[in-house]
Structure 1
Amino acid sequence: MVSPPVNHGHMVLIFFGRKDEDVYNGSLSHILGCVAKSLESLVCKGLVNKEKLESFNLPIYGPSDDEVMEIVMESHMFDLVHMKLFEVNWDPYDDSVDDVVHDIASSSQNITMGIRSVLESLIASHFGESILDVLFQEFRPLVAQHLEREKTKYAVIVMSLKKI
C-alpha cells in the first residue's frame, strides 16, 4: 500500500558533499582515487580485465552546499529549513579534532573496512566476489600512505526540508 503524500511534512537528509566548488577537490576524490589505484593494480597483476575496469563506474557524487541549495530552490517542492556542512574524520573511530593521525595502522584498517562495506556489493556485481579481499589488501596501504601526508575528513551535509 502506498502512503498518500504528506502536506507540510518535514524531512532530514544526511549525505556526503564537498566544501569546495571544484568537483575534483575533496575527500571523496581522494578516497575514490585510492580505490581506482587499487583496481588498476589488479589489472597490472592480471587479476582484473582492463576492459572490465574501463567499463566500471561508481555512481558517487559529493555536491557542494551551493549545488544542493540550488536544486532544492529550483524544485519548488520544499522550503529549506536548515542546512549545515560539517566534517568527520575518515576513520569513524577517530573522534579527535586535531590534524594528526595517531595510529595510522589502525585508522587505515578502520577506513578500509568502512569503504569495503559501502562499495563491496557494487564491486562484486561488476568484477565478481573473488577480487574483494585482494582489492582491499591493495587499498589499505594506499590509505595509510595518504594518512601519513594528511588527516583527511569527509564533508557531510545535513539539511532539514519542509514540504511546501
Structure 2
Amino acid sequence: MAHLTQRLFQPLNIAVLTISDTRSFDTDTSGQTLADLLQTAGHVLIDRGLVKDDIYQIRAQVSQWIADPNVQVVLMTGGTGFTPRDNTPQAVAPLLDKHVDGFGELFRQVSLAEIGMSTLQSRALAGMSNGVLVCCLPGSPGACRTGWEQILAGQLDSRTGPCNFTPHLKPQPGIALEPCEARS
C-alpha cells in the first residue's frame, strides 16, 4: 500500500488540456476541476488549453507541451469515449515513448463503484514522452475527480512511497527529484 515518506513535496508544472467541440473556457467544468485539484494539492498550473476533438489539433498542443522544458505533466479531459468525434486516444498514443498500461486499467477499476459497467466505455490512458507524463481522462468533472483523487494525487506526490512518477519527469532547475525506494 502506498504511504507518505519523509521526502519533501516537490510541486510539479502541470498543463491541462480539454478536448471538446462544444465547450469554452467559461463552460469547461472538467478542465476547471483538474486545474482546481492540482493547485489545491500544491502543484503549478503552468498552462491550460482547449481544442476541438480533432486528432491534429490535439497532437499539436500535446506535442508543444511535450517539447516545453517547463512542462512535466499534461492532464487531458475529453474525447475518450466511442462516438465518431472521440479521438483523444488515437491522437495521443503515437506521441508516447512508453505507455503506462496500468493507468487505464486502474481508472476503469476505481470507476466501477461509481458508474458500474459503463466504465467499459472509458478509453482512459497514460504514457511518458520526453520526460512528460501524459494522462487522458474522460470529459466529465466526476471522472476527472476520480482520476485525480484515486490515482494521480498520489502518483504526482513526490512523498508517495514506495514509488511515484516524479523521479521519471523532466527535472526543473534547482530541484533534485529523489529516486523511488527499493522494495524490501
Q: Shorter chain as normaliser: what TM range?
A: under 0.3
Higher relative contact order (CA 8 A, sep 6+): 1
- Structure-2-length-normalised TM-score: 0.26
More helix by share: 1
- Structure-1-length-normalised TM-score: 0.28
Determine which structure has more spread, i.e. the larger CA radius of gyration: 1
